[in-house]
């Protein structure tokens, strides 16, 4: 489900593995919450080992995103599979969650966000309207 790959201060890289669905999404969310409880503020999720995700899995990811957003953090997803990136785009999720095609790009983006060089993605309608 959600496996820790590496951790450096508040930056965590984890992988989403197998199927994230109605039966496993609570486990994914709980594992993500534990990472956030331990101080993670920049979470990179590598989806390369992911074989399937349904709406309950997406909802679990949005819960993690919301908590990170509330704590001035960021969720970055490395999604090498074009089909899943397109699905994220169709759902409008790439407008709130940072999506990259490679883990390397996700790490570069996370470091830039952490250093303040790149603003966190806009997430509210009010912010978008005032820009």
- For 86, residues 6+ apart whose C-beta sits below 8 A from its C-beta are none
pLDDT digits (tens, 9 = 90+) for 22-64: 999 999 999 999 999 999 999 999 999 999 999 999 999 999 9
Q: Note whether 76 and 100 are within 8 A (CB).
A: yes
Pairing mode, strands 18-20 and 50-53? parallel
Q: Would you give the end-to-end CA distance of the chain in angstroms?
A: 38
pTM above 0.75, yes or no: yes
pLDDT at residue 115, as a whole number = 85
CA 13 vs CA 8, 43, 93: distances in Å: 9, 6, 20
Task: List, for residues 108-124, the tens digit of each pLDDT value.
Answer: 999 999 888 766 554 43
């Amino acid at each position: 489900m959600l496996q820790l790959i590496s951790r450096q201060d508040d930056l965590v890289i984890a992988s989403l593995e197998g199927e994230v669905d109605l039966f496993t999404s609570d486990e994914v969310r709980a594992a993500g919450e534990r990472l956030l409880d331990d101080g993670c503020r920049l979470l990179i999720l590598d989806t390369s080992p992911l074989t399937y995700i349904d709406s309950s899995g997406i909802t679990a990811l949005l819960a993690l995103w919301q908590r990170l957003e509330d704590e001035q953090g960021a969720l970055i997803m490395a999604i090498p599979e074009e089909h899943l990136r397109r699905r994220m785009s169709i759902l409008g999720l790439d407008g709130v969650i940072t999506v990259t095609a490679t883990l390397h790009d996700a790490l570069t983006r996370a470091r830039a966000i952490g250093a303040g060089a790149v603003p966190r993605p806009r997430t509210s309608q009010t912010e978008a309207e005032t820009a």
